[in-house]
Amino acid sequence: MPDTKTEPQDALILLGCPQVPIQTSVALYLASKLRKKGITTVITGNRAARTNIEVADPDRHYIGEVIDIDRCVALLAEKKRDFHFCFSFIHNDAGLTYAATVKAISPAAQILIIFGEHYQEVASSVDFPAEIIAVNAVHNPMPLKAKIDEVFPWVVSNL
């Protein structure tokens, strides 16, 4: 992991499939919180997930760099890029598979944001070290927002 004492901190926000409505709004909310903390964010996802984010924040008040998920995996695998934190939005097996991949190829501290109607099943299949935020939230972002508000100070200051 990059040296947290001497370098500005940065975070990767890894988006899953945008099928679950709350992902985009909560990712923007998280990006805003990180930015207020002085943490630079890079958002990655497939084209649909990235487009949802970019359309929702056209003037880029909250988001910074946005990159394709395959390119992001390549940069991490080739050790050309790294992050202090990785916040992974997960609501299905594929999302968990991407998060496990980033865990394997990057020293970034992993925070798994697990949501959607199958959140318990997905959370129970995590078998690698990570902080887990798991909430039953599909259409209403408030339960997940509340959970992020609750754990965010601890996550950012202790990892």
Partner 1 sequence: MGCLESMKHEIILRDASFRECREYILSHFPEHFEVLPGYKIFEKYLIGVPPLYIAVDGDDVIIPYTKPCYGTFLIRVPDPEMVTELRQKKPK
Return residues touching partner 1 (CB under 8 A): 15-19, 45-46, 48-49, 69-70, 73-74, 76-77, 92-98, 100-101, 104-105, 125, 127-128
Nearest distance, CB of residue 101 and partner 1, angstroms: 4
Q: Provide the minimum distance between the beta carbon of 80 and partner 1 in the complex, in angstroms, as a whole number.
A: 12
How many Å apart are CA 87 and CA 104, to the nearest integer?
15
C-beta closer to partner 1: residue 16 or 116: 16
For tokens 């949802």, the residue is: 52
Question: What is the DSSP secondary structure assignment for residue 46, as one 8-state letter?
Answer: -
Q: To the nearest whole angstrom, how small is the minimum distance from the Cβ of residue 130 to partner 1?
A: 12
Nearest of 66, 72, 62, 32 to residue 49 by alpha carbon: 66
Q: In terms of CB distance, is 121 or 149 closer to partner 1?
A: 121
**Cβ-contact 42, 68 below 8 angstroms:** no
Task: Give me the least distance between CB of 128 and partner 1, in Å please.
Answer: 8
Residue 41 or 44: the one with the smaller Cβ distance to partner 1 is 44
CA dist 159 and 156 (Å) reads: 6
Residue 16: name the closest of 48, 64, 55, 56 by CA: 48
**Nearer to partner 1 among residue 23 and residue 33 (C-beta):** 23
Kindly state the tokens that stand for 68: 């394709």
